[in-house]
A and B are shown apart, each in its own frame.
Chain A
């Protein structure tokens, strides 16, 4: 009798133990990563059909259902949607085909057209047409070719040889780096490859030509693929009707491979994470945006979109992504926000700028304020750094920063709202505290300027905080096509009604907005992100290890007890 009972206990014990183990195991999910879906250049070609008049007629039908909204009914790239597109749709009547395997100035092969139609073009409106059957794609290609008579007249469009190739190595990259300068790539693509070269900015400024050299650090934006072979192909064939010519005659095959390896080595993939972890430091925070300390932590990169929520909407933002890192110590939290911007031209109306947005109060539940400037129920706080303001202040000298930065009444749309009565009391208390904070901050953040703290409850209800609760500092640094802006704020402020309090261990929603002055971006004309989360990382207390060790010890004890029991009273195997 007791045996049976004993068995029963064992069985249920095992079931419970195993179930519990796996319950914990499966609940331990790693942190959520956001998935980006970038178009990739696919090289395979399939199902080619003969080029007959029937096929062309069928292609025309498809073209006039799917393609002409952008590319225009005459194929001149002037469809009804073209004004809102950047980059502009391809004009099929000219030979401005970019992604080819043919030499410079030569029209692409049919296979090239098939590849680009099947792959789409990242960063543009061109989708990947996997929804068309290969046969349909060929029909459209044959129709597209009728827009340019040269396809018929010139006959053979031979591919350039793209063979060879060597594996990437440190030496090869080094040689490539040298070639990048020698072959004058830097003139357009810039010192660090961010497309900020002197020629690019001149073309834009002097003649308003829409050529923008590719930012070679953003691998997902490479048109026609981002593998070394793809880069090699582009260097070899050039991009027709752009300043990017063919380097086939200028550089040897081998050198072009070195160059490709170098280009590949300076590009990076977008590393997005939903949660940004702010790292705790013992002493001082980094002394500025160029501080080496920033190099020790990983950045989170957020994709950006034009502001399309409120009118006037903005379709052609200049920034495509923004990177952010964060440190905090006992008193302050610091953010380093980096984004690529080809120019550093500031004017009073159009200035480069960045804003980081937090909810005024960390939401208790799951509902956050509206991601774009909050809503009437839930306000947001904005820390707004503007390059023009900083340049003025730098010019005036650091002495009278305080008097100059106060105020900031140059916002037209603002509609100051009285939050509540009782603000005054808070203010007087705050003032005393702030003097202390300001003194300490002066020591730690040399050369920083006060940036604007604002509150918003929707696009129309934007207000600058009163002088005495402005406690954020910022410092920007532009070099070789990249802005690095460090923004810092005390973790806790006296003004709890208007300022978010950065509590440890909580998930604090944040969002970013970037303005590019040279792209005439101002106010609602900006690039924005969704809500992401910031969390102030906590150090692991030693007790955690103790708990784990105790658990291991207990598990060992229980285990050996179980084993001993079983060995002492073995379950009898029935003889039958």
Chain B
């Protein structure tokens, strides 16, 4: 029973797990805000947090149990502290906080709280067959016609799409806040830049009501524009929309290569 020094490795484990928790819960939202250039914090999803915590705890426990020495050191924290005041303090803290934590979890688990509504993730629909073959009638037009169409399209975009999708096509129009499923930010390279023009045509023409049943979360406020806009106008809007957002539509050739 050679107890040469007091080991704090259990305290270390607790502290490091708490640090990981703090990083994921508090710091990560700000880091991702900066990395992704958003103007709001990006809270870590709770399921992700859960898995990271399970990983962190398992990892630290695996670490302390890699050798008998480490394991013995780890457990030795619970042994009588003797004259070590600091250790005694930590032991008290641990002994008090664990039952309290358990009690709090049981309380918060059983108290009839208000469940948070489940918010489904956006499930991108697949382009319907009838739209798949559609071609922009101005795709092969001469440069002057194209430029004219883009200009007309930009005017139409500003008149019809701007209230929600914004003057800059950044999904931040004056109405954007009212829709909990926010209007799409077209300047984001992950949105209209990843689809072919026919896809945009379908979305504008049929809107939210025309989405297939599989595309969650069923909250799209996108109007079906077929009631007031002609097909030609919609194609022009698409050209204007891509120009306003400063992105290119995905080309059909690319799709065939895949």
Asked if B175 contacts A308 (CB within 8 A), the reply is yes
Complex: chain A residue closest to B101, CB-CB: A21
Report if A35 contacts B (CB, 8 A).
yes
Asked if B180 contacts A274 (CB within 8 A), the reply is yes
| Cα of A368 to Cα of B216 in the assembled complex, Å | 11
Of B50, B98, B166, B167, the contact of A555 (CB 8 Å cutoff): B98
Beyond the given pairs A541-B112, A574-B72, 9 more chain A to chain B contacts, judged by CB atoms under 8 angstroms and listed by A's residue number, are A10-B75, A15-B61, A23-B53, A23-B54, A25-B21, A81-B162, A129-B168, A563-B78, A566-B75
- Minimum CB–CB distance from A277 to chain B (whole Å) comes to 6
Asked if B180 contacts A559 (CB within 8 A), the reply is no
Complex: chain B residue closest to A563, CB-CB: B78
Report if A552 contacts B (CB, 8 A).
yes
Report if B32 contacts A (CB, 8 A).
no
Asked if B217 contacts A571 (CB within 8 A), the reply is no
| Cα of A529 to Cα of B221 in the assembled complex, Å | 10
Asked if B218 contacts A368 (CB within 8 A), the reply is yes
Asked if B178 contacts A305 (CB within 8 A), the reply is yes
Residues of B within 8 A of A84 (CB): 159, 163
Complex: chain B residue closest to A532, CB-CB: B180
Give the number of residue pairs across the A-B interface with Cβ within 8 Å: 235
Asked if B57 contacts A22 (CB within 8 A), the reply is yes
Asked if B117 contacts A533 (CB within 8 A), the reply is yes
Within 8 A of B (CB), among A347-397: 366-368, 370-372, 375
- Minimum CB–CB distance from A84 to chain B (whole Å) comes to 6
Asked if B163 contacts A24 (CB within 8 A), the reply is no
Give me the interface of A with B, judged by CB distance under 8 Å: 7, 10-11, 14-15, 18-19, 21-29, 31-32, 34-38, 66, 69-70, 79-81, 84, 123-127, 129, 131, 274-275, 277, 302-306, 308-311, 313, 315, 366-368, 370-372, 375, 505, 507, 528-533, 535, 537-541, 543-545, 547-556, 559, 562-563, 566-567, 570-575
| Cα of A570 to Cα of B95 in the assembled complex, Å | 18
Asked if B46 contacts A367 (CB within 8 A), the reply is no
Asked if A126 contacts B178 (CB within 8 A), the reply is no
**Which of the 9-residue segments B63-71, B133-141, B230-238 touches chain A?**
B63-71
Complex: chain B residue closest to A3, CB-CB: B68
Q: A69-B155, A274-B117, A371-B221 are in contact. Are A124 and B175 (CB under 8 A)?
A: no
Q: Which 10 A-B pairs have the closest CB atoms?
A: A305-B178, A305-B175, A552-B103, A551-B106, A555-B99, A555-B102, A22-B53, A548-B107, A69-B158, A81-B158
Complex: chain B residue closest to A504, CB-CB: B112
Asked if B209 contacts A370 (CB within 8 A), the reply is yes
Asked if B117 contacts A127 (CB within 8 A), the reply is no
Report if B100 contacts A (CB, 8 A).
yes
Within 8 A of A (CB), among B165-204: 166-168, 170, 172-181, 187
- Minimum CB–CB distance from A138 to chain B (whole Å) comes to 18
Complex: chain B residue closest to A125, CB-CB: B167
Report if B83 contacts A (CB, 8 A).
no
Complex: chain A residue closest to B120, CB-CB: A366
Residues of B within 8 A of A31 (CB): 114, 116
Asked if B163 contacts A306 (CB within 8 A), the reply is yes
Residues of B within 8 A of A538 (CB): 112
Residues of A within 8 A of B217 (CB): 366
Asked if A127 contacts B75 (CB within 8 A), the reply is no
Q: A26-B53, A304-B178, A547-B110 are in contact. Are A573 and B158 (CB under 8 A)?
A: no
| Cα of A128 to Cα of B78 in the assembled complex, Å | 59
- Minimum CB–CB distance from B240 to chain A (whole Å) comes to 10
Residues of B within 8 A of A537 (CB): 114
Q: A37-B176, A530-B181 are in contact. Are A19 and B54 (CB under 8 A)?
A: yes
- Minimum CB–CB distance from A209 to chain B (whole Å) comes to 22
Complex: chain B residue closest to A270, CB-CB: B177
Complex: chain B residue closest to A79, CB-CB: B158
- Minimum CB–CB distance from B234 to chain A (whole Å) comes to 15
Residues of B within 8 A of A533 (CB): 117
Residues of A within 8 A of B181 (CB): 530
| Cα of A572 to Cα of B80 in the assembled complex, Å | 15
| Cα of A539 to Cα of B60 in the assembled complex, Å | 41
Residues of B within 8 A of A69 (CB): 154-155, 158, 167
